[in-house]
């Protein structure tokens, strides 16, 4: 699996024409305070390679995750958590740091930092090619919608936060987690494009480009943090299963690692200790299908209850065609008491896309509560998390049947009448 090990850069831009922003324009965080500027504790430490964590913390803090009175304080708390959990000597990728923090804290019902209804959770990734002027203009449009954007440059590999711009002067304003180690540091750069059309940053004050020294050469990818969708809060608090890439070598902060990001389950919620752990079907299971990835999620049958299943898929890139994936569900036959038989696969009752077309929420509503359910994905990308799929998570909850609720309501009214009598 290909893993990005470049350092990363956050981009916060505005664009003339797409929105009537003043020039110069400076981005603010969601809470109205300035975009965070997380700095390394010791920028002279050559072993500290945590620029990608600083970028992720700036994005998350600017989007109003974390704890603190301002976006800067929130970002600093997130950065400290990432350094402690993941170590700071290994290079990494901003999208992995964002995913890790969201699934471990921001979207984890077992965490004190759980924000079940927070809008910013759609992470879109573009990598593997140099960015050009059209990408630059696209990313400016993204900021107009209050997005937070990470850009990676390959020479040198470094991370900064882009917090403003001047269209008239073709300049951009950046925060640098390495302080002012490279002039002009937390200051302004001239935006340039080389002979091949690739996006570079030049020092200011610039002579006529490209004669001015190049500060960062060849932008080669971006990550967007955008408003997305959320599963129902009561379902998340009941039983929530996430499948995402994480660092499985979490030891002590600063411990060297081999950057081995692997996919694994995160299980949370009130029922997490009541069920067996989820697992992927392999060739030893009778329902295994070589062409599909099938995940098994445990459950418990209950009389007069029905089941609601919410699956949120975050795709690496946006689906411009709004084509719903052929994701299916299979459950035990209702008449099979031991749960050995299986019903036919059936599609979701509803599919909802977020406004940026980077996430889809699939929902199934069952008229009884089975012993287990299995989500049948159309290909193995949902298992490997390569290609189009970045991660997914599912929440399940059991709810009394409408007739049961009606009876409960009648009983409650009868109690009230007796008390009043």
**pLDDT, averaged across the chain:** 82
From residue 261, give the alpha-carbon distance in Å to each of 92, 273, 367, 389: 9, 26, 39, 15
Q: Which two tokens stand for residue 104?
A: 């471990």
Helices within 253-338 (DSSP H only): none
Q: d(Cα 81, Cα 158) in Å, to the nearest integer?
A: 21
Residue 2's pLDDT is 34
48 and 120 both lie in a single domain: yes
Q: E strand or H helix at 86, and its extent?
A: helix 71-86
Q: Which residue segment(s) compose the domain that 49 sits in?
A: 9-227
Q: d(Cα 154, Cα 130) in Å, to the nearest integer?
A: 9
Answer yes or no: are the C-beta atoms of 161 and 175 closer than 8 Å.
yes
Q: Which long-range contacts (CB under 8 A, 24 or more apart) does 196-205 make?
A: 196/130, 197/130, 197/132, 197/133, 198/130, 198/131, 198/132, 199/130, 199/131, 199/132, 199/133, 199/135, 199/136, 201/153, 201/172, 204/171
The tens digit of pLDDT for each residue in 385-396 reads 988 999 999 999
238 and 221 both lie in a single domain: no
Residue 260, Cβ density class (10 Å: 0-12 exposed, 13-18 middle, ≥19 buried): exposed
- Mean predicted confidence (pLDDT) in 401-405: 51
Q: Is 420 part of any domain?
A: no
**pLDDT tops 90 at residue 332:** no
**pLDDT tops 90 at residue 382:** yes
Nearest to 118 by CA among 30, 9, 27: 30
Q: Is 419 part of any domain?
A: no
Q: d(Cα 334, Cα 326) in Å, to the nearest integer?
A: 24
- Mean predicted confidence (pLDDT) in 126-147: 85
Q: Looking at per-residue confidence, does 154 or 256 come out higher?
A: 154
242 and 200 both lie in a single domain: no
209 and 320 both lie in a single domain: no
Answer yes or no: are the C-beta atoms of 242 and 392 closer than 8 Å.
yes
Nearest to 106 by CA among 142, 57, 167: 57
Residue 176's pLDDT is 84
The tens digit of pLDDT for each residue in 214-224 reads 889 998 989 99
Nearest to 96 by CA among 128, 131, 56: 56
Strands 188-193 and 350-353: unpaired
Q: E strand or H helix at 391, and its extent?
A: strand 389-400
3-state helix vs strand vs coil in the chain, percent to 5: 20, 30, 50
Q: Which segment, 27-41, 142-156, 231-245, is predicted with the most confidence on average?
A: 231-245
Please, how many CA atoms are within 13 Å of residue 91, restricted to the half-sphere of its CB? 11
**pLDDT tops 80 at residue 255:** no
Decide: pTM greater than 0.75: yes
Q: Looking at per-residue confidence, does 134 or 300 come out higher?
A: 134
62 and 190 both lie in a single domain: yes
Q: Is 257 part of any domain?
A: yes
Last residue of a domain, one of 199, 227, 255: 227
In the chain, % of residues over pLDDT 90: 48
Confidence of residue 364 (pLDDT cuts 50, 70, 90): very high
Q: Which segment, 16-25, 38-47, 360-369, is predicted with the most confidence on average?
A: 360-369
CATH number at residue 118: 3.90.70
Confidence of residue 415 (pLDDT cuts 50, 70, 90): very low
138 and 238 both lie in a single domain: no
Number of domains in the chain: 2
Contacts of 155 by beta carbon, 8 Å cutoff, 6+ apart: 216, 217, 218
Q: Is 1 part of any domain?
A: no
Q: Is 413 part of any domain?
A: no
Whether the CA torsion 312, 318, 322, 328 is positive or negative: it is: negative
Q: E strand or H helix at 314, and its extent?
A: strand 305-315
257 and 133 both lie in a single domain: no
Strands 279-280 and 293-298: antiparallel
The tens digit of pLDDT for each residue in 269-297 reads 999 999 999 999 999 998 888 889 999 99
Q: Is 188 part of any domain?
A: yes
Residue 19's pLDDT is 44
243 in helix, strand or coil?
A: strand
300 and 399 both lie in a single domain: yes
135 and 182 both lie in a single domain: yes
Helices within 223-354 (DSSP H only): 233-238
218 and 250 both lie in a single domain: no
Q: d(Cα 328, Cα 353) in Å, to the nearest integer?
A: 17
Q: Is 63 part of any domain?
A: yes
211 and 264 both lie in a single domain: no
Q: Look up residue 324 and give its DSSP letter.
A: -
Residue 121's pLDDT is 96
**At how many degrees (to 10) do helices 51-62 and 71-86 cross?**
140
Q: Is 391 part of any domain?
A: yes
Last residue of a domain, one of 201, 227, 253: 227
Q: d(Cα 199, Cα 177) in Å, to the nearest integer?
A: 21
From residue 39, give the alpha-carbon distance in Å to each of 43, 70, 79, 93, 159: 8, 16, 9, 17, 11
Answer yes or no: are the C-beta atoms of 304 and 289 closer than 8 Å.
no
Last residue of a domain, one of 170, 202, 227: 227
69 and 197 both lie in a single domain: yes
265 in helix, strand or coil?
A: strand
């Amino acid at each position: 699996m290909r893993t990005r090990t470049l350092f990363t850069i956050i981009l916060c831009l505005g664009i003339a024409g797409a929105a009537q922003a003043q020039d110069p324009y400076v981005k603010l965080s969601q809470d109205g305070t300035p975009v965070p500027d997380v700095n390394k504790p010791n920028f002279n430490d050559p072993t500290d390679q945590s620029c990608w964590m600083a970028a992720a913390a700036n994005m998350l803090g600017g989007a109003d995750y974390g704890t603190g009175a301002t976006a800067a304080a929130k970002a600093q708390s997130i950065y400290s958590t990432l350094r402690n959990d993941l170590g700071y000597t290994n290079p990494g990728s901003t999208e992995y740091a964002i995913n890790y923090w969201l699934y471990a804290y921001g979207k984890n019902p077992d965490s004190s930092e759980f924000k079940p209804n927070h809008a910013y959770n759609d992470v879109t990734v573009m990598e593997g090619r140099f960015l050009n002027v059209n990408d630059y203009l696209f990313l400016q449009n993204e900021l107009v919608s209050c997005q937070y954007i990470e850009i990676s440059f390959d020479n040198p590999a470094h991370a900064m936060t882009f917090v403003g711009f001047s269209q008239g002067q073709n300049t951009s304003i950046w925060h640098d987690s390495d302080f002012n180690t490279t002039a002009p540091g937390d200051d302004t750069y001239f935006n340039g494009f080389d002979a091949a059309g690739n996006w570079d940053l030049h020092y200011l004050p610039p002579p006529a480009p490209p004669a001015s020294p190049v500060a960062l050469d060849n932008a080669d990818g971006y990550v967007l943090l955008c408003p997305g969708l959320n599963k129902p809060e009561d379902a998340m608090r009941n039983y929530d299963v996430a499948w995402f890439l994480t660092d499985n070598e979490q030891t002590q902060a600063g411990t060297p690692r081999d950057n081995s990001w692997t996919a694994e389950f995160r299980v949370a919620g009130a029922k997490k200790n009541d069920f067996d752990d989820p697992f992927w079907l392999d060739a030893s299971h009778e329902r295994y299908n070589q062409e599909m990835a099938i995940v098994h999620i445990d459950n418990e049958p209950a009389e007069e209850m029905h089941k609601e299943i919410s699956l949120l898929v975050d795709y690496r890139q946006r689906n411009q065609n709004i084509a719903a994936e052929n994701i299916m569900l299979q459950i035990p036959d209702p008449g099979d008491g031991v749960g050995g038989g299986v019903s036919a696969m059936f599609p979701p009752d509803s599919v909802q896309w977020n406004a940026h077309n980077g996430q889809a929420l699939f929902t199934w509503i069952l008229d009884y509560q089975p012993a287990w359910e299995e989500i049948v994905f159309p290909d193995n990308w949902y298992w490997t998390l390569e290609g189009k799929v970045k991660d997914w998570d599912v929440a399940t909850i059991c709810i009394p049947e409408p007739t049961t609720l009606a009876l409960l309501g009648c009983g409650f009214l009868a109690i009230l009448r007796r008390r009043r009598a």
